């Protein structure tokens, strides 16, 4: 979902940047989108990639795809050096509290905006609304400083606390409609995906009334 939500919210996601994602799972999914031509990935820790190749081959197979170019390095530095280049930037990081804390702060959104094309979309992990409601709202506010349209989506992941995980998405296009997939239903159905569908995409943005109010009113 962290891959196909932003990819299908974008009408033409040719060039994609993945920050983090060292297990290869996000890359494995992103390359499946028929309009994606180039995927650039920056992972800071080469040991994560090595160990994933050794112990999680079903995830790490993403690294073998010819659309993918992997760079071992700091995502911050990488984005500083790339201006207006990417249609979609996906951040597949650790939790918002701990080593990856800087990825959830305002300056990070500024950096992503720098590396993103004018009609680009970003997507980052956003925590659970049952556990991190105020933190998510703060992250969305940070995103809003730099992006014209911001949304929160959620999907079921049984291994996460409370059984789900959220995403904060930002677009530089003020008319962005995140909840409607831009790829047709039959085209999506023809892609080899186990979880994602047009229906699941739209449903991810339907939030409980109290969450909806907290985030958008």
Q: Is 156 in the site for a copy of itself (CB under 8 A)?
A: yes
Binding to a copy of itself (CB under 8 A): which residues in 39-78?
none
Residue of 42, 115, 124 lying closest to 79 (CA atoms): 115
Give yes or no for residue 162 binding a copy of itself (CB under 8 A).
yes
45 is catalytic: no
Interface residue with a copy of itself, options 130, 133, 182, 187 (CB under 8 A):
130
Is 134 a binding residue for a copy of itself by CB under 8 A? The answer is no
174 or 209, CB closer to a copy of itself?
209
* Cα(211)–Cα(191) distance, integer angstroms: 32
110 binds a copy of itself, rule: CB under 8 A: no
Tell me if 62 sits within 8 A of 25, measured CB to CB: yes
DSSP state of 49: H
Q: Report the DSSP pairing between strands 116-125 and 15-20.
A: unpaired
Q: Is residue 177 involved in binding a copy of itself (CB under 8 A)? A: no
Cβ within 8 Å of residue 106, ≥6 positions away: 142, 145, 146
Q: Which residues pair with 122 in a beta bridge?
A: 89, 170
User: How many residues appear in the chain?
Assistant: 217
Part in contact with a copy of itself (CB under 8 A); list of ranges 70-78, 98-106, 107-115, 151-159: 151-159
CA 44 – CA 71 distance, rounded (Å): 8
Give how many residues touch a copy of itself by CB under 8 A.
26
Shortest separation between residue 185's beta carbon and a copy of itself, angstroms: 12
Contact 152, 127 (CB under 8 A): no
Q: Contact with a copy of itself (CB under 8 A): which of 34, 57, 163, 184? A: 163
Question: What positions carry a catalytic annotation?
Answer: 92
Task: State the residues that interact with a copy of itself by CB under 8 A.
Answer: 128, 130, 154, 156, 158, 160, 162-164, 193-197, 199-200, 202-210, 212
């Amino acid at each position: 979902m962290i891959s196909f939500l932003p990819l299908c919210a974008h009408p033409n996601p040719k060039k994609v940047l993945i920050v983090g994602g060292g297990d290869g799972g996000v890359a494995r999914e992103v390359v499946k989108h028929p309009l994606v031509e180039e995927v650039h990935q920056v992972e800071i820790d080469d040991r994560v990639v090595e160990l994933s190749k050794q112990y999680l081959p079903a995830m790490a197979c993403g690294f073998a795809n010819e659309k993918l170019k992997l760079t071992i390095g700091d995502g911050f530095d990488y984005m500083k050096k790339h201006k207006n280049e990417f249609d979609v930037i996906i951040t597949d990081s650790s939790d918002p509290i701990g080593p990856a804390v800087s990825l959830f702060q305002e300056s990070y959104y500024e950096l992503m905006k720098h590396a993103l094309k004018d009609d680009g979309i970003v997507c980052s992990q956003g925590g659970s609304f049952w556990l991190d409601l105020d933190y998510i709202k703060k992250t969305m506010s940070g995103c809003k400083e730099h992006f014209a349209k911001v949304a929160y989506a959620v999907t079921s992941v049984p291994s996460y606390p409370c059984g789900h995980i959220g995403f904060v998405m930002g677009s530089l296009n003020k008319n962005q409609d995140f909840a409607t997939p831009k790829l047709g239903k039959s085209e999506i159905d023809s892609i080899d995906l186990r979880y994602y569908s047009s229906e699941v995409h739209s449903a991810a943005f339907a939030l409980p009334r109290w969450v909806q109010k907290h985030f958008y009113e």
